[in-house]
Amino acid sequence: MSDTQDSYWSIVWQQFRKNRPAYWAAWALVPLFLLSIFAPVLASDRPFAYYDRGRWLFPWFRELFHVEEPSDYFYNMALVVFFPWLVLGGWLNRRWRRGGMARSRRWGRLLGLYALLTLAAMVVFSLDVVRPAHLYFERRFVREEFGDPQRWGIYPPLPFGPTTVDEDAFFKPPLFVKPSQQWKAANDYFPHLLGTDGGGRDVLVRLIYGTRLATTVGFVAVGLYITIGVVLGALAGYFGGWVDMLISRIIEVMLVFPAFFLILTLVGFLGQSIYIIMVVIGITGWPTIARLIRGEVLKQRNMEYVLAALAQGASHTRVLFRHVLPNSLSPALVAAPFGIASAIIVEAGLSLLGFGVRPPAPSWGALLREAHGNYAYWWLIVFPSLAVFLTVTLFNLVGNGLRDAMDPRLRR
């Protein structure tokens, strides 16, 4: 990245900070991501450490590497590498700062390093020879511990799992605690702070783990359609001619397909899956991005720096992806937060209708569906609705802030 680009992003950041709602919304998203990463630390029925008649077991750590949902595996690996990344990132940040590297470049590199470490951990621990064995898959430690002084465990602050069923606690209101005569497990003493759903599962725990599903759908779907839209829009705008005509016609055809109903159709044929939701949003959302990028590239391709690069012998591929495209990404970056918010709403709406992720995966929309037709279970309406509303509002505020910061006409 050049010094000119550093200066541009510094200006954008300064303008973004002036928009106080957007600035604080961006900071409010940080706890949301940390909540997704540290969900097992906050809520799990697997003990961190378990004393079993003279020996110590560590089932919580082993559980991190054996989950059903790919999104859970990704976030668990992000949790595994978080503290090593903090140490390594702190050391690298000091080196780069002493070398005079701009703050935006340092943060970009650190976040990129975190993503690489997470992906590396996913690959490494997918190998059976490296991954810790799942020795305690069938054991229910909270039941084993109950009434046995020779066994006891150290649990997370919320000692419930996101899919753990309690047959004695169906549709219980907030702060419900099971009567002592019904206790069958070591965590039965703990109150369900936001109540339970129709399966006796703790609502607060499912809301916490639901952040993983919501952010995964949002980021993967938006990342997919931004990648497609940026590449095709850049090719159309830079080369023009028959390339532009072909891509423009494809864009017009794709704009006809409604993502929501296409998802419903595919779910009817293939069954419920988070992959269907992400892929359909990804392959139907790119035309708008492509049109925006095409317009920006059309403005950039006849500028002096492009002509100078071509005169020096640079290839069209290098000019496009090294010079033109980095200066044309503003529309895609502005559209990304709005797209994430839209994808979260689509997933919640599909789960509300029963066409979303496959149960018992924790989803905010699935919690809303539990109260369908019976508004006496108000906690299953209020708390998931607040989670969707606040998350979508934060992303929309960030999008508004980026739009204002990147548009010179709106700068103050």
CATH number, domain of 357, equals 1.10.3720.10
Return the pLDDT at 6. 55
Confidence (pLDDT) at 148: 86
207 and 116 in a common domain:
no
| 213-237: burial string, b at 16+ Cβ within 10 Å, e else | bbbbbbbbbbebbbebbbbbbbbbb
Helix (H, G, I), strand (E, B) or coil at 158: strand
End-to-end CA distance of the chain: 26
Together in a domain, 261 and 356:
yes
Considering the domain architecture, whether residues 103 and 210 belong to the same structural domain is answered as no
Q: Residue written as tokens 């994808």? A: 343
* Burial class (CB within 10 angstroms; exposed 0-12, middle 13-18, buried 19+) of 130: exposed
Residue 278: name the closest of 197, 337, 191, 339 by CA.
339
- Please give the helix or strand (H or E) that residue 55 lies within, else none: strand 55-57
Does 225 share its domain with 362?
A: yes
**Cα–Cα distance for residue pair 142/207, rounded to 1 Å:** 22
Domain membership of residue 136 (yes or no) is no
Parent domain of 386: 203-410
Per the domain annotation, does 381 fall within a domain?
A: yes
Which among 124, 141, 156 is the end of a domain? 124
Shared-domain flag, residues 364 and 229: yes
Q: In what order do the strands lie in the sheet with 55-57?
A: 55-57, 49-52, 151-154
In a domain, 41, yes or no: yes
Q: Note the pTM of the prediction, 2 decimals.
A: 0.89
If asked whether residues 216 and 330 sit together in one domain, one would say: yes
- Which segments in the chain show pLDDT lower than 70? 1-9, 407-412
- The CA distance from 261 to 274, in Å, is 15
**Domains in the chain: how many in total?**
2
In a domain, residue 163? The reply is no
Residue 249 is assigned to a structural domain of this protein:
yes
Q: Is the peptide bond before 70 cis (omega within 30 degrees of 0)?
A: no
For residue 55, being part of any structural domain is answered with: yes
| The pLDDT value given to residue 359 | 78
Examine residue 129 and state whether it is found in any structural domain, yes or no: no
Q: 231 with 366, same domain?
A: yes
What does the pLDDT read at residue 409? 54
Same domain, 267 and 370: yes
Q: 223 and 359 share a domain?
A: yes
Domain identity same for 207 and 90: no
179: in domain: no
Mean model confidence pLDDT for the chain: 87
